[in-house]
Amino acid sequence: MPKTYQETERAEPRRPLRREILKQLVGFGLLGGVVSYLAYYYERIPEPLSHARLAHVANLTRASREICGEPSNEGLPVAISLLYSDDKQTWIEYAAERFMRLCPNIQVKLIPMGSIEGADAILKGEVDPVLWAPSDDLALSYLEHRWSARSGERSFSMDARVSLVSSPLVVLMWEDRARVLEEIADLGGSREGLWMRTLCPLVPREPGPEELAIEDMVPGRWLDWYGPVAQQARPRPAPVAEGQGKPKPLYRQAFPTPEEIQRWGRVKMGYASPRRTSAGLETVYLMAYDYVLPPDERDALEAEGDRAGKQQTVAGGGPIVGGEHLREAFEGAFLDRKDALQDWLRRCQAGLEAPPETSSSLAETMFNVGPGLYDGVVTHENLVFEVLTWVKGHEKSIRNVRVLYPRPTVVNQHPIVFLRPDQPDRAALREPASRWIAFLRSAPMQLKAIEHGFRPANPEISIEAHNEQTNPFLRLERYGVSTDVVLEEPPRVDGEIVMELIQLWQDATGRY
């Protein structure tokens, strides 16, 4: 029998009531999840030093006082901030945690950021650190030049900079690509420098008036590059006695066939943004160095005996040959040829996608995505070791890679400077800042830096003598890692040229 209206009214509300209760339970569940997430998130954020802990800074041991100095009269820690290049983040964080545990009277605030990005943040007033540690002197010159153009105050003293660690700019390539590159270099007979021919192969020095679509303004193809030299007979290398020569990869593939090389497409060498990172800026500088002062002109200057200022030093386990004797020649050539350089760079790079904004993940991206994205990447030596460790652990199932040390290259000295030293309110920060710097250069932290892939700045520390089990330089030699290779540098240019290089790259590529 059908229900009456009154019966329906009495029966129907139960369903919406059940639905409403269910909705509320779901809502409470979601709210509980959000609360749990926030609690977990805030648990992960390091808490500032509590007042109870601050009261104990006077309880420094005699041994720690020699490293940390005396606590303040108020018993409160002195806070110093460090803006540093993010390529050394893991080592800096490791050192800071131990330093603050040892020295509760000094609190270090860490701000990781790309070197050029960090300089711009300082100039914009977005950060005001006590200490700044970019990757290289080029970033220091950039900040010094831009700061002095707008302020009478000193930004820092270049003469007071101290090196924390060092790390050369290297190329990480897939093994098969590296072998073809070596073949081309040995037999190609190009007058162009390594940086020009590797990052912009087959792009003419003077591109000419022909109009090209933006997407065609890219480097040439592997097969077109290799084809002309493939016909030449390659001399057999002399046999190497057992135990001599460089360590060989565990597995060496057959030389790629023309069909394989054709499938590679165009040459794809990656580097990070020169607008934000030292590694990217150094890459553009080295291309410019090759373009405006080609190897044959540099050799001619060497033959004329123009060697003033050229020195050979040992740092971090290997010799470094400076290029200061060529500084004047480069600066003159750059002024004469920078318009032609911009045209050439545009023809080579304008059609490429925007480069990544950091160097830290570049090698990892190459490894994870594979050769379809990058044939190789230009990055700091310390950033390749994680990838090489992965390769070593899976060498039977994944393709091999190689580390190449180009000549010339830039050896990043990771300088650290005290910013705005003439400010009266910073006088009290100088001593704790110096103690923090001394801690970073101490033997234990320099040895730990080796384990993080850096070459020590402390001349008393030897890479070769460090524990092989935790020393990536020794464990990964089979992939081309070497501390004996001669590192040849270009001259260090001033901040005005650094700014012009960045602007030239932006105008050539349309990237900002």
* DSSP letters spanning 19-34: HHHHHHHHHHHHHHHH
Alpha carbon separation from 452 to 117, 348, 417, 438 (Å, rounded): 23, 35, 22, 19
Distance CA 222, CA 140 (A): 37
C-alpha radius of gyration, the chain, whole number:
28
Give 130's pLDDT tier (boundaries 50, 70, 90): very high
In the prediction, which pLDDT does 383 show? 96
Among 384, 375, 365, CA closest to 175: 375
Residue 2 has pLDDT above 70, yes or no: no
pLDDT digits (tens, 9 = 90+) for 268-281: 999 999 999 999 99
DSSP code per residue over 126-169 = S---SEEE-SSHHHHHHHHHHHHTT-SS----GGG-EE-EEEEE
Distance CA 139, CA 142 (A): 5
In the prediction, which pLDDT does 51 show? 36
Least confident of 21-30, 159-168, 191-200, 245-254: 21-30
In the prediction, which pLDDT does 506 show? 96
Classify the phi-psi angles of 115: left when phi > 0, otherwise alpha if psi is within -120 to 50, otherwise beta.
alpha
In the prediction, which pLDDT does 12 show? 39
In the prediction, which pLDDT does 28 show? 42
In the prediction, which pLDDT does 298 show? 93
Mean pLDDT of 488-507: 96
In the prediction, which pLDDT does 415 show? 98
In the prediction, which pLDDT does 122 show? 97
Is pLDDT larger for residue 463 or for residue 44?
463
Is pLDDT larger for residue 240 or for residue 444?
444
Distance CA 115, CA 83 (A): 9
Residue 363 has pLDDT above 60, yes or no: yes
In the prediction, which pLDDT does 500 show? 97
In the prediction, which pLDDT does 151 show? 86
Single pTM value for the model: 0.84
Give 5's pLDDT tier (boundaries 50, 70, 90): very low
- Mean of all residue pLDDT scores within the chain: 84
Give 171's pLDDT tier (boundaries 50, 70, 90): very high
Least confident of 130-144, 235-249, 415-429, 469-483: 235-249
Residue 6 has pLDDT above 60, yes or no: no
**123 CB burial (10 A radius; 0-12, 13-18, 19+):** middle
Whether the Cβ atoms of residue 278 and residue 136 lie closer than 8 Å to each other: yes
In terms of average pLDDT, the best of 49-63, 209-223, 240-254, 284-298 is: 284-298
Retrieve residue 511's tokens: 């990237």
In the prediction, which pLDDT does 59 show? 63
Among 136, 167, 103, CA closest to 438: 103
Among 452, 421, 416, CA closest to 436: 416
Residue 14 has pLDDT above 90, yes or no: no
Alpha carbon separation from 14 to 5, 8, 26 (Å, rounded): 15, 11, 18
Question: In the 3-class helix/strand/coil scheme, how is 341-352 assigned residue by residue?
Answer: HHHHHHHHHCCC
Distance CA 309, CA 131 (A): 30
Residue 449 has pLDDT above 80, yes or no: yes
Residue 284 has pLDDT above 90, yes or no: yes
Retrieve residue 287's tokens: 């291309």
Mean pLDDT of 60-66: 76
Least confident of 83-87, 232-236, 375-379, 443-447: 232-236
Is pLDDT larger for residue 165 or for residue 318?
165
In the prediction, which pLDDT does 37 show? 37
In the prediction, which pLDDT does 361 show? 84
pLDDT digits (tens, 9 = 90+) for 20-62: 434 444 344 444 443 343 333 333 333 333 333 444 555 677 7
pLDDT digits (tens, 9 = 90+) for 389-432: 988 887 766 778 999 999 999 999 999 999 999 999 999 999 99
Is pLDDT larger for residue 440 or for residue 191?
440
Q: What share of the chain has pLDDT > 70, as a percent?
A: 81
Residue 484 has pLDDT above 50, yes or no: yes
Distance CA 67, CA 443 (A): 13
Q: How many residues does the chain have?
A: 512
Q: Which residues contact 377 (CB under 8 A, 6 or more apart)?
A: 171, 172, 269, 270, 271, 362, 363, 365, 366
Distance CA 355, CA 505 (A): 12
Residue 238 has pLDDT above 70, yes or no: no
